[in-house]
Each structure stands twice: as C-alpha cells, then as structure tokens.
Amino acid sequence: MKIDLTDTTAGDINKALVQGRRDIGTPAVGMVLTLVIVTDEENAYDALKAANDASREHPSRTLVVIKRVSRSPRDRTTSRLDAEVRVGAEAGTGETVVLRLYGEVVDHADSVVLPLLLPDAPVVVWWPVNAPLDPAKDPLGALAQRRVTDTYAAEQPVRELSARAAAYTPGDTDLSWTRITPWRSMLAAALDQVTCEVKAVEVEGEEFNPSCELLAMWLAERLDVPVKRLLSSGPGLTAVRMNTSCGPIVLDRADGSLATLSIEGQPARAVALKRRETAELIAEELRRLDPDDTYASALRYGVERLNTAPEPQSTAAEPEPLEEAAEEAAAKTAKAPAKKASAKTAKKAPARKAAAK
C-alpha cells in the first residue's frame, strides 16, 4: 500500500510506517538494514527498482532522498518535505519511503533521515550519481557504516578514482569495484591451477570504465608486477593477459557474457562471466558491511602508477606534480557534475511546462 504525505515531518512519516504495517497485518518485520539512496529525480526510478530487487536478498528499509532544485529565491527560502510511504507488495520485501526535499531542507537532509533509521541496524548510503567528494564527511554519509559510490557514473571516472583514494575512509566502496568480483575470482582460480610466477599483466577494456583501472591496480598491488592498461571498444572489460614464467594465461571476454580462459599447456575453456545488473551489484554490496580492505589497498595503489600509455590525461609527466594535478582535477570534477546535473534539470523544466500547455 502507498501513503502520500505532503508538507510533512519525519515524525509523521514514522507514524505512517507503523500504520501501514498494521493495515497490511505484519506488525513486525525482520529488516536487516537501512538503505539510504541519495539521488536526483532523474535516477530515482532505476535506483529504487534495483534496491527493491536487492531487497529480496536483504530485506531493508529503503529511504530515497531526492533533493529538488529550487529555481527562484523565494523557493530557496521556504522549505518543504513530501513523502511517499510504501509498504507491502509495492516495496519488495521491506519498506520504502521516497522523500522529496524542497528549499532549505535540502541542506539538512540528515535531519529527516536520522529519525527514520531502523534501530540498531546498519545503515548503507548509496549515491547512484553525483557522489560527494568525501563520502564519509557528507552529513548523510556520516550516518552510515557503508558508503556506496559509483565512479562509472562519473564524468571523469579515472580522476574520480584518485579523489576516492585521497578521501578513502573505511566503509567506502565503489560499484565499479563490485563489478569485477567475478573477474577477480576467475583470475584467482586460474592462478590456483598453476605454480608459476607472474611477470607482467595487461588489462584491456573500454575507455572511461574505472573497473578496468581498479582490476589493474588490484593485480599490480597483489602481484607486484608492472600492469598495462589497454583500450578496446568494450563492452566493459574485454581481456586480462598475464605473462608468467610458464607461458601466458589469458582470460578473454569479447561479448560481455562468455569468456575463454587459456592457460599455456592446458586446453582453452569457456567460462561464464556475464556483466551484472545493478540489483545484483547492490545485493553483493549489502552482503558484507565491514570495511573492504582489499578495495582500499587496490585503490591506494594509485592510477598514475599504472602504465596507461594511450590514456591522454595521464601521459608522461613527473610523478609528483602529476599527483597534485590529479587531486586538483578531481576536485574540479566533483563540482562539475553537480553543476551539470542542475543545468540539465533546469533545461528540462521549461520543456515540461511547454508540454503541459
């Protein structure tokens, strides 16, 4: 069932949740966590759909925080909170509250979210787009044990990685990292089968896909060998080639679903490596809520240490100034998408008005 509340408060939303549960006859539910999704109106639908699918595995209270853009000085001084409370069949296995924030309250979203968190249960914040520069310092991020960002959705993914590395706080995680779990487990399984030393690695994948960099950094960090990042036309990651003391080991996925694993001296084998849906990624992300140290050390390895030869923005330069430049650039990037997003919404609004006429 769905309860609409206009110009409301967190207290009223709590009452509506209790009332909703009572009306559908399940006064107690075993929800294991609160998932806060911070997004704009444009991405809210897809993100909520993915979260509801994931809630089948992790029953949760999902709070969708949508910050509406005010377009006049008057709008900015007034503030309003609208809420849509969904329980029962419409909310997967948990409960969903869609919160729309207008005006001043946009800057105080944490005051709305805090009273709505489940008692004692872990809190996860997920920014499908426009993640803050330092997730742990964000007022909403500070409420959470786990902060999920997605560098894939960023304007300049590779620079964003450096920014993430600089701001890393235990509990941060990135869906671009989640995406490569099947690759990592298959590569680990491949090395289980041989007793050779890896000499060098090449990671090949499409441009603007930070998963490739993360995989390359993980390999470089674990294996302590030079790793080359090569570009291809995708989809996603396309190949990893490991040069070992007993010949090459290649995991090659040209079509985004079925890969081939070839190990020198062994027959080539087909392995399923399908690109996964967002819901599956979120479900994996929610499975463990402790800090992901492996991610941290891969991220901290540093994109600039990869031999990203054809990458234009990080070509030959002295290592030190480069790092600074990356940080600076990252700071710029983080601001840029936010501006861009508001510009987009602003542009869209007149169109909608026109349509209404």
Partner 1 sequence: MSPLSGSGANPLRDPADRRLPRIAGPSGLVIFGVTGDLSRKKLMPAVYDLANRGLLPPGFSLVGFARREWANEDFAQEVHDAVKAHARTPFREEVWQQLIQGMRFVQGTFDDDDAFERLRSTIEELDKAQGTGGNFAFYLSVPPRSFPVVIQQLKKHGLADQTGGSWRRAVIEKPFGHDLKSAEELNKVVHEVFEPDQVFRIDHYLGKETVQNILALRFANTMFEPIWNRSFVDHVQITMAEDIGIGGRAGYYDGIGAARDVIQNHLLQLMALTAMEEPASFGADALAAEKEKVLGAARLPKDLGKSTVRGQYAGGWQGGEKVIGYLEEDGIDPKSKTDTYAAIKVEIDNRRWAGVPFYLRTGKRLGRRVTEIAVVFQRAPHSPFDHTATEELGQNAIVIRVQPDEGITVRFGSKVPGTSMEIRDVSMDFAYGESFTESSPEAYERLILDVLLGDANLFPRTEEVELSWKILDPIEEYWDRHGRPAQYKSGTWGPAEADEMLARDGRSWRRP
**24 binds partner 1 per the rule CB under 8 A:** no
Q: Taking Cα atoms as reference points, which of 175, 127, 183, 154 lies closest to residue 281?
A: 175
User: Is residue 57 part of the contact set for partner 1 (CB under 8 A)?
Assistant: yes
Collapse the DSSP code of 283 into the 3-class scheme (helix H, G, I; strand E, B; otherwise coil) and give the result: helix
Q: Which is nearer to partner 1, 66 or 227 (CB)?
A: 227
Q: Please name which of 348, 355, 286 lies closest in space to residue 40, comparing C-alpha atoms.
A: 348
184 CB neighbour count, 10 Å cutoff = 18
User: Which residues in 309-328 contact partner 1 (CB under 8 A)?
Assistant: none
User: Mask: binding to partner 1, 246-265, rule CB under 8 A, as x and -?
Assistant: -----------xx--x-x--
Q: Is residue 270 a contact point for partner 1 (CB under 8 A)? A: yes
DSSP one-letter code for 304: G
The reply on whether position 193 binds partner 1 by CB under 8 A is: yes
**According to CB under 8 A, which one of 2, 108, 269, 348 is a site residue for partner 1?**
269
- Cβ proximity to partner 1, 164 vs 184, nearer residue: 184
CA distance 20 to 1: 7
Residues in the interface with partner 1 (CB under 8 A) total 48
- Answer yes or no: are the C-beta atoms of 72 and 34 closer than 8 Å: no
- Answer left, alpha or beta for residue 71, where phi above 0 means left and psi between -120 and 50 means alpha: alpha
One-letter amino acid of 235: P
Among 82, 104, 284, 311, binds partner 1 (CB under 8 A): 284
Helix (H) or strand (E) holding 51: helix 41-54
- Where does this chain touch partner 1 (CB under 8 A) — which range of 156-164, 284-292, 311-319, 323-331? 284-292
CB of 327 to partner 1, least distance (A): 28
Q: Which of 24, 254, 272, 317 binds partner 1 (CB under 8 A)?
A: 272
Q: Is 214 in the site for partner 1 (CB under 8 A)?
A: no
- Asked if residue 243 binds partner 1 (CB under 8 A), the reply is no
Q: Nearest approach, Cβ of 80 to partner 1 (angstroms)?
A: 35
By beta-carbon proximity to partner 1, the closer residue of 111 and 181 is: 181
In angstroms and rounded to an integer, the radius of gyration of the C-alpha atoms of the chain is: 22
**Residue 223 near residue 188, CB atoms below 8 Å:** no
Longest dimension (CA), the chain: 73
- Quick check: helix, strand or coil at residue 37? strand
| Site for partner 1, residues 88 to 107, rule: CB under 8 A | 93
Helices (H), ranges, 168-292: 175-178, 181-192, 210-223, 278-287
The reply on whether position 217 binds partner 1 by CB under 8 A is no
Q: Does 81 bind partner 1 (CB under 8 A)?
A: no
Is residue 245 within the footprint of partner 1 (CB under 8 A)? no
Query: Cα–Cα distance between 328 and 325 in angstroms, integer?
Result: 5
CA 219 remoteness from chain centre: 21
Q: Is 118 in the site for partner 1 (CB under 8 A)?
A: no
Among 24, 29, 254, 309, binds partner 1 (CB under 8 A): 29
**Closest distance of CB 273 from partner 1, Å:** 8
Strand 198-205, strand 237-244: pairing: antiparallel
- Choose the stretch contacting partner 1; rule: CB under 8 A; options: 110-118, 156-164, 271-279, 333-341: 271-279
Q: Which residue's CB is nearer to partner 1, number 31 or number 99?
A: 31
d(CA 131, CA 179) in angstroms, rounded, equals: 18
Query: Are 54 and 279 spatial neighbours (Cβ–Cβ below 8 Å)?
Result: yes
Q: Which residues make up the interface to partner 1 (CB under 8 A)?
A: 28-32, 56-59, 93, 178, 181-182, 184-195, 198, 219, 222-224, 257-258, 261, 263, 266-267, 269-274, 284, 288, 290, 292-294
